[in-house]
Structure 1
Amino acid sequence: MLGIGNIAKKVFGTPNDRKIKATRPIIEKINALEDEFKALSDEGLIAKTEEFRKRVAEGESLDDILPEAFANCREGAHRALGLRAFDVQLMGGIFLHQGNIAEMKTGEGKTLVATFPAYLNALTGKGVHIVTVNDYLAKRDADWMGKVYAQLGMTTGVIYPQQPDAEKQQAYASDITYATNNELGFDYLRDNMKAELTQMYQRDHNFAIVDEVDSILIDEARTPLIISGPSDDRSELYVSIDRIIPEVLDEHFTLDEKTRSVTYTDEGNEFLEQRLHAAGLLPEGQTLYDPESTSLVHHVNQGLRAHKLFQKDKDYIVRNGEAVLIDEFTGRMMTGRRLSEGLHQAIEAKEGCDIQPENVTLASVTFQNYFRLYDKLAGMTGTALTEADEFDDIYKLGVVEVPTNLPIARIDEHDAVYRTAQEKYDAIVEEIKAAHEKGQPVLVGTTSIEKSEFLSELLTKAGVAHNVLNARQHEQEAQIVADAGKLGAVTIATNMAGRGTDIKLGGNVEFKVMEALAADPEAHPDAVRARIEAEHAAEEQNVKDAGGLFVLATERHESRRIDNQLRGRSGRQGDPGRSAFFLSLEDDLMRIFGSERLDKVLSTLGMKDGEAIVHPWVNKSLERAQAKVEGRNFDIRKQLLKFDDVMNDQRKVVFSQRLDIMKSEDLSDVTEDMRHQVIDDLVDSFMPAKSYAEQWDTHGLYAAVIEKLNLDLPIIDWAKEEGVDDDIVRERLYEESDKQMAEKAEAFGAETMRSIEKQILLQTIDAKWREHLLTLEHLRSVVGFRGYAQRDPLNEYKTESFQLFENMLDGLRAEVTQKLGQVRPMTKEEQDQMMQQMLQQQQALAEAQRKAAEKITGKAELPKGVSVAGFDENNPETWGNPGRNDPCPCGSGKKFKHCHGAF
């Protein structure tokens, strides 16, 4: 019997069905306009864009323009790429424009879908950001879809690491900008460390479309982006501690794989104390429990984590003498990304790499808070429904499942569970051999580099030719993925590697054409394409006859989404395909999350070696285990976000203040308010309101005014005058300090004084904010212990961080006032003295260079362009032709262009 909910679904449809139904009339309108836009010339399409821009500027809404804009964009894409968007792609574009996540299966053409809402929203002139998971995809998509935007009269930019400033500025100024989430986040932080508006890259945070949205907004959202600067070098300490850690025995620590934490036992602490005393790292008479040992305990803990939690070739690889982290979700190298709080240094010591100095945080932001800056956010992925609650809770994003263009023909088999890993791998090799022999391409998914290389060895022994795709083959990623659909191809990949590149049956035509043209540059491109397309059609049919792409997963991932992503690589656009998961009770997920019961069940059934259990119940219990892990990871991210939200409110205040300062031409009012506030605080402190004159500390106030305002005033005498109270002293201090600043402005010149105020304000804000971030980091690391006193750590953090922020603002006012009080113009004598010092330094440098040249050549070396014969340093005619940046031959020590070569 059907429940009430099921009956309602049958009558009214699911909420998803209703959303899809609502787009049908809009799609009909777009289709009705198709002939009209087909009739336009190329110039006509661009003219339409200009017309739309004008209409938006005059107040027409984007929703009103949507059917025409989408029709124009569809025609532009058809002319530029030869691709005509399907109705489901237009539907996906509509959902993205509405600020949703469009869940579209692999191969449904998400890259093209993004052009529709991007084009429509860029008509406002505020720019649109399209976010990808790696730099290769950002460049590929910008190049590929840039042709569509150019056809419509719009500009496209791409952001990548180590990009020249001018190019980056231009890319952000484009109508549509492609970039990775990391580059966008780091540029936001860098912008808020700049001293001038012209140096800032990002404009408004108007609209972002996030490709592979689940990977970016969920998988990578557990760790914040941090810009840091080096601190003191303590590499010797890491090396010394690293010598001790291998001596630690199993009974000296407890390891919890579920929470990825490792701690010393009491025996471990005793053992460590003995070893640290012996190594001279812990002074005699001092224990690890003493407050002075805090730093050492921290380093010893990080050493233990590096050895017991972080595995080479799984969590990181050593490349060119560097420990490079590997993204646990994508299997890609995260070059330049480092673990904080000394953990990366501990790993470098463990692997014998050069130890880089530890870093201090200069600025940080989480992806959650960065992407919530956008006025409108949208996303695309093949798998988002399992995380719909999190998207709604944190980003206020709805998830809409967009139907496929053609029905899915892939066969998804039940999981096969083996007793041991050895039995599982034997079965996998046999399965791959069977598929390979009949020509069926196989994509094998693994959870780590280590496992992909182990499986590669097994296949090599079995004589099966194959490709391996993991962080080590990062550069050839697109090529390997493009070949994965060829007849008989076997590709081993970490579960998420190659995401974003289509696996087409029979191979990728575009790649084949590029290869053929590279091999024979004289060949005619059209002829080459025609030949390759004919060959490809036959090969594609052979692959279909062999059963299409077979996705074989060697383990279940912690997240159901990543399993679904892998499964979705097969069966694109109605192609045949097959997927199967091979598991064992020794897999991490099964081992950590309760395989005892299953083990008992298998023993009871009396399973023979090499036999697998295949049953829907097994799938269900596994999905429950995965849902548990997903829930725990969501809690971790939510907790991180709650703490970061506290800092985010403060970050927004500081960054908006910086922006206001940079935009202001005249900050004298701001500095005056700060100065008066400092005076108020001083007077309140030394001459409390409603107190008697004999209770005043006028000597203290006199000293404080000299220190904070650089003013020597007869405050002690003022206090002795008849009828003088704290308000009169306050007014006199205002007057004297204002007069002092007016005199400085006159001495420097108004423009110079305004510039000095701006620079002092910005430098002081940045320094104070850095100190504040460090204090908050320390507060965050200890506030958890408040839970033992029955106090909520989050509330404690909120209260104390607010108090610290208030203290920071007080300190900022005092420091800016003090610095401005001490600024003064140089006297003529000081300027002359400074010039003299600079001249002496230049001469000393020239002399040192001359002596160094003598040492190398055994004789004095003359400046470039100088002829030896008849050279006279007092006669410029004998000097030949010196370079403009060379030392002047007259011996002054200055460069030639600043001396005798000056125009």
Structure 2
Amino acid sequence: MLSVARKIFGSSNDRRIKPMRKRVEKINALEASMQALSDAELKAKTAEFRKRLDEGASLDDLLEEAFAVVREASVRSLGMRHFDVQLIGGMVLHQGSIAEMRTGEGKTLVATLAVYLNALAGKGVHVITVNDYLASRDADWMGKLYGFLGMSTGVIVHGLNDQERKAAYACDITYGTNNEFGFDYLRDNMKYSLDQMAQRGHAYAIVDEVDSILIDEARTPLIISGPTDDRSDLYRTIDALIPKLDDETDIELDEKQRSVIFTEDGMEKMEQMLEEAGLLEGSLWDPHNVTIVHHSNQALRAHKLFHRDKDYLMKDGQVMLVDEFTGRMMEGRRLSEGLHQAIEAKEGVEIKPENQTLASITFQNYFRLYEKLAGMTGTAITEAAEFADIYKLEVFQLPTNKPIQRIDEDDVVYRVASAKYQEIIKEVRDARAKGQPVLLGTASIEKSEIISTLLTQAKIPHKVLNARHHEKEAEIIADAGLPGAVTVATNMAGRGTDIQLGGNLEMRLWKAIDAFKEKHGRDPSEEEEKAMEAELKADIEVGKKEALAAGGLFVLGTERHESRRIDNQLRGRTGRQGDPGKSKFFISVEDDLMRVFAADRLNSIMKSLGIKEDEGITHPWMNKAIETSQKKIEQRNFEIRKNVLKYDDVINDQRKAIFEQRREFMHANNVTAVVTDMRHDVIDGLVAIAMPPKAFAEQWDVTGLTETLKSELGLELPIAKWAAEEGVANDEIAERIRVAADQAFEQKVEQVSKQQMQQIEKQVLLQVLDGRWRQHLQQIDQLRSVIHLRSYGQRDPLNEFKEEAFKLFNDLLDTMRTEVTRILMNIRIAPPATEDQRAEMAAAREQLLRREQALSSTQETHLNPDTGDNEMTPGVVEGPNDPHAGPPLHQAEEDWSKTPRNSPCPCGSGKKYKHCHGSLTGADQQQV
């Protein structure tokens, strides 16, 4: 009944395509008028279309005329005319859907229609392919058409620098691979200036081989990671020094706040021990020693704040963290910033280096950034449900330009693999004897090499295409249509270059020209090249007739793949453009697919039927059973990908929020209001902790608030006096602190210009945001690796992950506000320096920056010294007023009294301050 209904009403696919055929008729009606235009007039159509768009026309309004222009331009620039079915394919791509087209139907040319039409909008069109070769080839090939119509074409391949990438993205049309587009997106969101960003948006993309990119490769996310150096010896050496410190005089431990720092005496002793250990050159506060300071602090924390069998325990020689709330081990969790390594050094176990994730995104979430997405492939209908569910993409099956003459024979199933291989060799020998080209498809490199060995033993000449020989892919596939040719290929092969009976003219011409150059030492003349082309055409025509007479290309599958789509891709290599062809699969019960899903049952059935080991069985029911197994695997894989995406969607919402906020900061000329709000929020938070709203004044932690304001914000305020006032409320105290903080910051602004301070604010915001985001990604990775354990407590891991990720994101925002406020409130401005001093400081800051980048993630935030013409002139801007930071360089003498005693003396003598201008002798003692 269904078959009868389809014959009467047509399939749903036919009904969707029917309206497009009417538009094809309109395009065909314009052909004569387009042919009458000169090249210049045809090119001028581009400017005319853009003008009409500016005046309010839509891209749909221009479709018929634009397609007619592209077809005529293709005839003149490429010598190829779009078929009517290719025009339909262009419409499918333009509306943001997937066009399933048989192999050999000209997908590369189809894309030019939708690409040109959408490029008229001026937002840039991305054409995404599976490898650099195809990206470069298609950009060069189709770029002739676009150039003829006055449009620019760029290509993104591996190895380009930032300027080259930016220039390619600035073109009307940009070709490239999925990896390069994804990584460029991540890299752009790590830049510190809009001018440095390469991509200019995600308006429209066409994905070639869409099933491979959006499904097969979507299992693995793109990750930019920063490898950290293996510093095992450094961790161990510093660790051995910590027990030599005196707990009473060398350190200050605050167990309540879980903080510990070195005293001045402790720092002096540590400096001396580090010098004796050969780890220190110069002062501990020299910029090139920032790594030593960082790891010394982490080693101190490991010894004094983290206790075995409380905060962590040892298991199988590993430091396993313990959840302070549940008491359970947190497998897979590691402390960041070298702290975990410091604990490992303390316990004397193997120290594992960290690999920090700097940025990551899944292909699913990258491609969902595009306002409009389209794709094309030879096999998509089997994955239509996933395309619709994940990407909201509809699949259209396009008719072929000529009727298909390929014969798809039923599978032949054997009990043992050896019998299958014997029959395959026999089939190949018979086909080759009559001049029929053969393509043997295998599921793996291992299987392709087994087939190759058997063919070699049978003395059958052949070529092998697998991952070991992928650089010759186009050449091998181009020759696979020669009469009697035998080609063994894994399922990854055969993309981008059609198997043409008799041989591929373009590829053979390239080889002929290369041979001519090698022989004669020069390029052939135009006449010589034409003569070579004519000779090759005649030879190919003879070969094609011979191959057609033998039955066309014979595709021989040596086993079934887990995915029907991969098998269909293999079948699709034969029968292009109405050519005859044949496909047939040879299967054994010992094949991976059969062994996993149906081996025992199928083997027992064949035994009961009396089928011998060297006999094959053929029946439509067998085909149906195999297809059912494939459907089950496809559904399982879909569920796995869908589940992974659910987790990534959680972090993707956060990623978009951070990246959008980051772009807003870069766009803004003035972020002072943002910084001020952050400062006020931090102050309100500190007051709320020390003076809870419902607490009595006697319960307020006045001393703690006073010390925190001094250490974090550099404010010395009479909090105790304010709190003693009768009737004063905590919100009033918070307001006074906000006013005082604003006034203190304004004093810093007065020492430089507002414009310069705005630049500092923006830079600090971006650097802190990046640092906190990278740490957040590490925490999310660790959370994701262990969240499944929550299922043992009858809790949904996905819901638990959402809740935990939300808390971590809020922590990120709180930490960022605190850190930005702390840095900006503690920045010190020094008087102008001489040219020599400025040069010294620039070199020191550059060295410091390189050191900082070598760390996985440090607490210190340094301003980017690359300020160009906007150098901070009248003074030197330094990092936060950390208790361990050195004095401002070239400070005014009257301010030297604020210099920490163990820091270098500001006079430039090279001595420590306490041994130079800070020496406590004579009048100084009386003053103290």
* TM-score, normalised via structure 2 length: 0.76
SS at match of 1:82: coil
Q: Distance in 2 between matches of 1:210 and 1:789?
A: 43
1:759-798 paired onto structure 2 within 5 Å: 759-798=763-802
Query: What is the distance in 2 between the residues matched to 1:403 and 1:694?
Result: 84
**Is residue 398 of structure 1 aligned with residue 394 of structure 2?**
yes
Distance 2:588 2:804 in 1: 49
Say which SS state the counterpart of residue 385 (structure 2) adopts.
Answer: helix
Pair 1:685 & 2:707 matched = no
Consecutive unaligned residues in structure 1, runs of 5 or more? 237-285, 299-354, 843-903
> Deviation at 1:14?
1.9
- Deviation, structure 1 residue 57: 1.8
Spell out the pairing of 1:678-757 with structure 2 (5 A cutoff): 678-757=682-761
* Residue 198 of structure 1: how far off its partner (Å): 0.7
Q: Which one of 98, 101, 105 corresponds to residue 101 of structure 1?
A: 98
Contact 1:496 1:565 in 2 (8 A): no
Is the 2:156–2:180 Cα contact (8 Å) retained in structure 1? yes
Change in Cα spacing, 1:832 to 1:791, as seen in structure 2 (3 Å) is: same
Shift of 1:529: 1.4
Given the superposition, is the C-alpha separation of residues 831 and 700 from structure 1 closer, same or farther in structure 2, using an over 3 Å criterion?
farther
Inter-partner Cα distance in structure 1 for 2:507 and 2:783: 53
Partner of 1:151: 148
Where in structure 2 are the equivalents of 1:216-615 lying within 5 Å? 216-233=213-230, 291-293=313-315, 296=318, 359-520=355-516, 521-523=523-525, 524-615=528-619
Identify which range, 199-208 or 603-612, moves more after superposition.
603-612
Could you tell me whether the CA contact under 8 Å between 2:466 and 2:492 is conserved in 1?
Answer: no
* Match in the other structure for 2:815: 811
Q: CA deviation at 1:786?
A: 1.3
Does 2:161 correspond to 1:164?
yes
Report how far residue 498 of structure 1 moved. 2.3
Query: After the TM superposition, which of the residue ranges 641-650 and 446-455 deviates more from structure 2?
Result: 446-455
Q: 1:56 to 1:697 in 2, by over 3 A?
A: same
Task: Letter of the 1:388 partner, please give it.
Answer: A
Q: Which amino acid aligns with 2:50?
A: R
Offset at 1:741?
Answer: 1.6
Cα 1:201–1:546 change in 2 (3 A) is same
AA matched with 1:650: Q
What CA distance in whole angstroms lies between the structure 2 residues aligned with 1:43 and 1:28? 26
* Offset, 1:532: 1.4
Equivalent residue for 2:211? 214
Taking structure 1 as reference, are residues 830 and 696 closer, same or farther at Cα in structure 2, changes over 3 Å only?
A: farther
Q: CA deviation at 1:576?
A: 0.8
Q: How many residues align?
A: 732
1:631-642 equivalences in 2 (<5 Å): 631-642=635-646
Percent identical across equivalent pairs? 59
Question: Quick check: 468-477 or 566-575, which moved more?
Answer: 468-477
Is 1:33 equivalent to 2:30 in the alignment?
yes
Q: Distance in 2 between matches of 1:454 and 1:356?
A: 41
RMSD, aligned CA: 2.3
Shift in Å, 1:292 = 2.9
Match for 1:594: what amino acid? A
Q: Which amino acid aligns with 2:372?
A: K
- How many Å separate the matches in 2 of 1:824 and 1:624? 72
Secondary structure, aligned partner of 1:360: strand
**C-alpha distance in structure 2 between counterparts of 1:138 and 1:72, whole Å:** 24
Superposed displacement of residue 712, structure 1: 1.3
8 Å contact kept, 1:496–1:566: no
Cα deviation, 1:476-522, whole Å, max 9, x if unaligned, reads: 11111111111111111111212121111011001111222222233
Q: Which moved more, 1:642-651 or 1:438-447?
A: 438-447
Asked if the contact 1:105–1:382 (Cα under 8 Å) also holds between the matched residues in 2, the reply is yes
Distance of 1:574 and 1:71 partners within structure 2: 25
Q: Deviation per CA, 1:223-276: give whole Å up to 9, x if none.
A: 11111111353999xxxxxxxxxxxxxxxxxxxxxxxxxxxxxxxxxxxxxxxx
1:527, distance to aligned residue in structure 2 (A) = 2.0
Within a 5 Å distance, the mapping from 1:71-110 to structure 2 comes to 71-110=68-107
Secondary structure of 1:530's aligned partner: helix
Equivalent residue, structure 2, for 1:870: none
On the 8 A contact 1:133/1:216 being kept in 2, the answer is yes
Q: State the 1:548 CA deviation.
A: 0.8
Output the CA distance in 1 between the equivalents of 2:29 and 2:70: 14
- Greater RCO, 1 or 2 (C-alpha within 8 Å, sep 6+): 2
What amino acid is aligned across from residue 159 of structure 1 in structure 2? I
Length-normalised TM-score, structure 1: 0.79
- Superposition deviation, residue 148 in structure 1: 0.8
Q: Quick one: structure 1 residues 297 and 144, their matched pair in 2 at CA, closer, same or farther if it must change by over 3 Å?
A: farther
Deviation, structure 1 residue 825 = 1.4
Q: Is the CA contact (8 Å cut-off) linking 2:477 and 2:499 kept in structure 1?
A: yes
Cα deviation 1:155-212 (Å, max 9, x = unaligned)? 1111001112222111101111111111111111111111111111111100110111
SS for the counterpart of 1:428 is helix
Q: Decide whether the 8 Å contact of 1:104 with 1:402 is kept in 2.
A: yes
Counterpart in the other structure of 1:120: 117
Provide the rounded CA distance (Å) in 2 between the counterparts of 1:819 and 1:220. 43
Task: Tell me how far 1:385 sits from its aligned partner.
Answer: 0.7
Counterpart amino acid of residue 498 in structure 1: G
- Deviation track 1:94-128 (CA, whole Å, cap 9, x = no partner) reads 01101110110000000000000000000000011
* Cα distance in structure 2, aligned partners of 1:110 and 1:418: 37
For the pair 1:54 / 2:58, whether they are aligned, the reply is no
Between 1:823-832 and 1:390-399, the stretch displaced more is: 823-832
Deviation by residue 1:58-99 (Cα, 9 ceiling, x = unmatched): 220111100000000101111111000000000000011011
Distance 1:511 1:829 in 2: 66
Distance 2:231 2:599 in 1: 44
Match of 1:196 in 2: 193
Aligned AA (2:197) = M
Q: How many Å apart are 1:8 and its aligned residue? A: 4.9
- 8 Å contact from structure 1 (residues 221, 366) kept in 2: yes
Q: Give, in whole Å, the separation in 1 of the partners of 2:647 and 2:378.
A: 31
- Which stretch of structure 1 is more off in the superposition, 110-119 or 826-835? 826-835
Quote the offset at 1:722 in angstroms. 3.0
- How far apart are residue 359 of structure 1 and its match? 2.5
Please list the CA deviations of residues 340-394 of structure 1 after superposition, one character each: whole Å capped at 9, or x if unmatched.
xxxxxxxxxxxxxxx9976321111111110000000111011111111111111
**Correspondence for 1:24:** 21
C-alpha displacement at 1:777, in angstroms?
A: 1.1
* CA distance in structure 2 between the aligned counterparts of 1:687 and 1:549, rounded to whole angstroms: 84
Partner of 1:277: none
Amino acid at match of 2:615: E
Query: 1:627-666 alignment to 2 at 5 Å?
Result: 627-666=631-670
Q: Is the 8 A contact 1:444 1:491 kept in 2?
A: yes
Any conservation in 2 of the 1:495–1:566 contact (CA below 8 Å)? yes
User: How many angstroms does 1:627 deviate by?
Assistant: 0.4
Corresponding residue of 2:174: 177
**Of 65, 68, 79, which residue of structure 2 is paired with 1:68?**
65
**Pairwise CA distance, 1:839:** 9.8
Partner of 2:330: none
Secondary structure in structure 2 of the residue aligned to 1:532:
helix
Q: 1:225 to 1:423 in 2, by over 3 A?
A: same
Aligned counterparts of 1:757 and 1:778: Cα–Cα separation in 2: 32
Distance (Å, rounded) in 2 between the aligned partners of 1:466 and 1:397: 41
User: Aligned in 2, Cα 1:679/1:401: closer, same or farther, shift over 3 Å?
Assistant: same
Residue aligned with 2:315, SS: helix
